[in-house]
Amino acid sequence: MSRYFSEKYKTLTPYVPGEQPKDMQYIKLNTNESPFPPSDKAIAYAAEAAKSLQLYPDPECSLLHEKLAALYGVDKDCVLAGNGSDEVLNFAFMAFCDKTHPAIFPNITYGFYSVFAEINGIPYTEIPLREDFTLRVTDYLGQNKTIFIANPNAPTGIALTALEIEAIVKSNPDSVVVIDEAYVDFGAQSAVPLIKKYDNLLVTQTFSKSRSMAGARLGVAIGCKALIQDLNTIKYSTNPYNINRMTMAAGLGVLEDEAYTRANCRAIIENRTYAAKRMQKMGFTVTASQTNFLFAKHAKVGGGELYTALRERGILVRHFDKPLLRDYNRITVGSAEQMKTLCDTLEEILNEK
């Protein structure tokens, strides 16, 4: 730390992203990326957009917002694209939390929430999940604090129903409820239709998972016009050109290729079922994931030990060395071939025990 670093940030512990290793080719199942390439249309549109990189991108993201609005069946003023959903989530912390509206979220969830709260000086409370990692809906009723829920949750993969989300939104009319749907395309129910009914609901989604665009950084917030206006105030006060030309074009391309996205999601769900079944047969405890990852532990091998054994065999998964999580590993669901190799390798490791 330099002696110039602001007092405000001296105690900040930054978010630690999953490894992007350069030492060798791994089967990379550690950051929940898609095993499928971006849509051909996304690639072609991005290449075309590269020819105009001397010009700033459209700060209003007009075409993209129109397409997103059509996708979600909402008004154009009810969506806002972000530089990854991380950006819109940070905007939401900035816009809707302060000392009188502290944040609450589960104690086991996306690790960035506490970092966003810390960097923005927002008080927050982490609400314990049940021992089986399920969320107790009653903990969130009538709280009147700004609520952040990843649905499905990460790294557990477990989802609430739209009815449960609605109960939470309805019982907190004087504060914003943010539902982070980064993984919703892999089987869970989306809360987006509820934004027409509740002016305190903000939903975020990402193009990083189901749309194979993690490298482009594109996310979206969906909410009533007034909430989106507030996010725009933050956007225009920080980074008006938050979506670059190539990403914007790629986003338009993939949205014209919904059949490709849907087919990829179906394949991931199939591969998830295959891997979960095989792992359960081997004695793994696997949570009921509705995402593109599995969260699993085994009585015979510790989480850290399994992470290392897989890494030595060329498979990278995510291990969180934290009290409630360290027995587990989070394993991204990849292609059918990757899942077969994963399961064969897990069998090998267990047989050696």
Strand partners, 126: 105
Residue choice 175, 189, 200, 208 for contact with ligand PMP (CB under 6 A)? 208
Phi-psi region of 32 (alpha: psi -120 to 50; beta: other; left: phi over 0): left
Q: Is 267 in the site for ligand PMP (CB under 6 A)?
A: no
Q: Is 79 in the site for ligand PMP (CB under 6 A)?
A: no
Q: Which residue is nearest to ligand PMP (CB)?
A: 84
* Region near ligand PMP per CB under 6 A, out of 69-77, 79-87, 124-132, 193-201: 79-87
Residue choice 90, 189, 206, 287 for contact with ligand PMP (CB under 6 A)? 206
Nearer Cβ to ligand PMP (57/152): 152
Nearer Cβ to ligand PMP (291/349): 291
CB of 180 to ligand PMP, least distance (A): 5
Nearer Cβ to ligand PMP (65/278): 65
Q: Is 185 in the site for ligand PMP (CB under 6 A)?
A: no
Strand pairing class (124-127; 293-298): unpaired
Residues in 142-161 at the binding interface with ligand PMP, rule: CB under 6 A: 150, 154
Phi-psi region of 140 (alpha: psi -120 to 50; beta: other; left: phi over 0): alpha
Nearer Cβ to ligand PMP (85/200): 85
The closest alpha carbon to 147, from 180, 119, 99, belongs to: 180
Exposed/middle/buried for 159, CB within 10 Å: 0-12, 13-18, 19+? Answer: buried
Distance, CA of 163 to CA of 189 (rounded, Å): 9
Distance, CA of 88 to CA of 151 (rounded, Å): 16
8-state DSSP, 197: T
Contact yes or no for 248/32 (Cβ under 8 A) = no
Q: Is 287 in the site for ligand PMP (CB under 6 A)?
A: no
Nearer Cβ to ligand PMP (150/168): 150
Residue choice 39, 85, 156, 172 for contact with ligand PMP (CB under 6 A)? 85
259 φ/ψ angles, rounded to the nearest 5 degrees: -60, -40
Q: Is 110 in the site for ligand PMP (CB under 6 A)?
A: yes
Single-letter amino acid code for the residue at 7: E
Which three-class secondary structure state does DSSP give residue 19? coil
CB of 135 to ligand PMP, least distance (A): 14
Q: Is 84 in the site for ligand PMP (CB under 6 A)?
A: yes
Distance, CA of 280 to CA of 64 (rounded, Å): 42
Residues lying near ligand PMP in the complex (CB under 6 A): 84-86, 110, 150, 154, 180, 182, 206, 208, 214, 219
